[in-house]
Each structure stands twice: as structure tokens, then as C-alpha cells.
Structure 1
Amino acid sequence: MMKRIFSYFLKGLVLVAPLIITAYTIYLMFDFVDGLLRDYIKDWFGKSIPGLGAIFIFIFLTVLGLVGESIIAKPLKALINRLLTRAPLLKVIYSSLTDLFSAFVGKEKKFSKPVMVCFNRENNLWKMGFITQESLDDIGIEGMLAVYFPHAYNFSGELFFVDSSAVKPLDMNPAEAMKFMVSGGVTRFN
């Protein structure tokens, strides 16, 4: 009984920890920058301006994004890429995170082709997903596609290699498809 309770506790912790850690990190960043700027602002304006750290962090990240897209940053990005992809453990973590972020916001968005896949022809059961790789020839699998199936109400999913004949493209907006799947089919289409 205690083992099961502890297991549920750990699962709950795993669900909540990333959110809490992210929120706490952002709080620490804002607080740190507010602390650095507080004395200077008080000297200049005669009073403290709370929240200036948040504005500064926003401006800093925006400028960083702009520099990241510029010609100046490309050699620096390439150098950092080379260094991080040479370290054995960092390579796996860094490349996985890079691929994940580029799948959502990069130039090569991976979740842009919503499809239906027939899993049981006898009962006509279908599952919605996204094609993430059109060809698996590089890993020696021919005639198959990589299709990612998000889970409802959870930021996780499953990747299946499916026969291309079992895949039916959907004529719908990818964002609407993702919203529909993640909501468990509860969301209405616009």
C-alpha cells in the first residue's frame, strides 16, 4: 500500500516539477535583474520601479533572438553546436532538445501534416497523428512513415512506424488538429 502511495507521489512530482522549476527559475531571473537595477534606478529617478527586471529580461531575450537570427551569430551558433555535439552525454540531450524545439517553432516544423491512421480495419478504428518523417530509408525501413500520436491532456505521445497505405492525410489546420487531439476530442473545430 505504501509503495503504491509513494509511486503516485513520484508521478505527481514528475508532473508538477517542470512547471515549478520553470516558474522558480523565471522568478529568480527577474528578482536578480531587479536587484541589480534597483539601486541605479533609485539613484536616477529617486524611487524604485518594481517589475523592471521583467521588462529588461523580455527586451534582452528579444534582442538575443534578433542577434541569433543575424549573420554575426551564425559562426557563434556553429561553434557552440560543434562543441555541444562532441560531448557524448551533452550530444544526446542537446540534439534531442534542438530537434524538439525546431519541430514546434523552427523552419522545418514537424507537426504540420495531420493524418488519420487505421489501426483496426475490422472495426474501422482510426487514430489521429502527425507525420514527422516521410521516409525511413535511412534506417532501413522502406514504405513506412514516422507518425507521432500526442496523448490527450498530457504533453506526451507515441511514435509509430506505419505502413503508408494505412495513412490518410487530413485537410485541416495542424494547430487545430493538435488542439483536438490534446483535448481528447473535446475541442470544437473553428
Structure 2
Amino acid sequence: MKKIQNYFFSGILIVAPLGLSVYVAWVVVGLADKIFRPFIPLSQLGIPAEIPGVGLIVAFVFFTILGAVAGSFFGRFYHKVVDGILSKIPGLNSIYNTVKQIIDTFATTQSNAFKEVVLIEYPQKDMYAIGFLTSETKGEIAVRKNKKMINVFMPSTPNPTTGFLMFVPLTKCTKLSMSVDQAIKYIISAGLVTPSAPNIKKALPKKKKKLAKK
């Protein structure tokens, strides 16, 4: 009986990610259809009204055009005005700023501002934390310390939009093979979503066997 229960839960674990992905996709398509379908003259275009996904296609085209306009002078001016207004409305400004910070963080990871994921010994000996290498330390700090250092952003859990900057000697960092996206998921999930480990045992130097004394 216990073996059957294990098989049952194993089946759920296999199907759950696929089922949830399909459900979310279906909800997104349905939501896009409800919002954008009333603005589309389907009958005049000869498109059957019952075809799902038409609203999603229109939404894709709409946001693509909006993104292109946002890059122009008018778009930047409009964004600056809207940003200034929403940032000053009590109650709404906290929600707007939080969402904006989260979006900016993920946009930053896509633009490769976070170059690599590193592991550093923090906050004390034999305790470690994940950070993001942003650049090499330069300027006054590099001159005063007179050693090769890197700038590491240390995100907090479960909100990686907050954190602090650390200047770490390069020799004190361990570069990880996981991607920035994987590290972000790792941090947000508080360690529940663990990236798969690469086969690094072959790359590690083999320990020399000590010869037995005769």
C-alpha cells in the first residue's frame, strides 16, 4: 500500500508542473481575449470570434509598438511624467515603487548587468552566501586596498530587489556555474528551488594520496 502511495505522489509531482504551466497559459490567453477582443473588428476581418488567442496576438503587437514608442523622446517624456505623478500619490506610490523595483531587477539581469554568480564566505567563517558579480572594483577603494577586488551585490531573500554592495577580494570568491536566472529563483524560493549541480568533480584537483611510511 505504501508503494502505491509513493507511485501516486510521484505521478502528481511529474504532472503538476506541466498542468500548472498549461493552466497559467490558458488563463493568460483568456484574460488577453477578454481585454482586447472588444477592440478587434473580428467580423469585418472575417475572423471567427470563437478562436482563442486572438487577443493575445493583439496584446503582443500592442506592447511591442508601445515599447518602440517608449524609446522615443515622447515616450521618455511621458514615462517621466507618469512616474513622477504615481510616485507622489499616497498609498499607491509604495505599490508602484515596489513593482517597479522588481521589474527593474529582472530587466537588469536580462541586460547582463549581473555578470556571474559567486559564493562568498559571509557573514562569518564556514557560512556562505550567494552574490552577483557586477564589475571589477576601481577608483579610490581599489587604490587604497592595493589588491584585485570585485563588486558583489548581495541580494536578500525572498525579495532580491533589496540588498547591499560588498567589495570582495577576488581570491575570496568562488565563481559558480549556475546562471543569474537560476540564482534569482534560488534566492526568491529561499532555497526550495535548487539549480541542478554540474559534474564538477572531474574538474576539481585530485587529492594526492599520502604514502604509507615503511
TM-score w.r.t. the length of structure 2 is: 0.52
Question: Which deviates further from its counterpart, 162-171 or 108-117?
Answer: 162-171
Which residue among 25, 30, 33 is the counterpart of 2:33?
Answer: 30
What corresponds to 2:66 in structure 1? 64
The 1:54/1:46 distance shift into structure 2, 3 A limit, reads closer
SS in 2 for 1:186: coil
Gaps of 5+ in 2: 1-22, 138-150, 188-192, 200-214
Distance 1:66 1:47 in 2: 30
The 1:76/1:160 distance shift into structure 2, 3 A limit, reads closer
Which residue among 160, 168, 175 is the counterpart of 2:173?
Answer: 168
1:184 aligns to 2:208 (yes or no): no
Distance 2:30 2:92 in 1: 26
The 5 A counterparts of 1:83-98 are: 83-98=85-100
Distance 1:70 1:104 in 2: 22
Indicate the RMSD between aligned Cα atoms, in angstroms: 4.4
1:147 aligns to 2:147 (yes or no): no
1:117 aligns to 2:120 (yes or no): yes
Gaps of 5+ in 1: 1-19, 136-143
Higher helix share: 1
Q: Based on CA coordinates, which of the two structures has the bigger radius of gyration?
A: 2
The 1:63/1:160 distance shift into structure 2, 3 A limit, reads closer
TM-score w.r.t. the length of structure 1 is: 0.57
User: CA-to-partner distance for each residue in 1:158-185, whole Å, 9 max, x for gaps?
Assistant: 9665864586263757536627946424
User: CA-to-partner distance for each residue in 1:127-181, whole Å, 9 max, x for gaps?
Assistant: 322368x99xxxxxxxx9751156xxxx656966586458626375753662794
What corresponds to 1:100 in structure 2? 102
What is the identity, as a one-letter code, of the residue corresponding to 2:32? M
What is the identity, as a one-letter code, of the residue corresponding to 2:198? R
SS in 1 for 2:73: coil
Amino-acid identity (%)? 16
Q: How many residues of Structure 1 are paired with residues of Structure 2 in the alignment?
A: 156
Distance 1:177 1:127 in 2: 15
Is the CA contact 1:117–1:126 (under 8 Å) kept in the aligned structure 2?
Answer: yes
Is the CA contact 1:104–1:110 (under 8 Å) kept in the aligned structure 2?
Answer: no
What corresponds to 1:45 in structure 2? 46
1:76 aligns to 2:78 (yes or no): yes
Instruction: Note the C-alpha offset of 1:94.
Output: 1.6
The 1:34/1:180 distance shift into structure 2, 3 A limit, reads closer
Distance 2:60 2:68 in 1: 12
SS in 2 for 1:88: coil
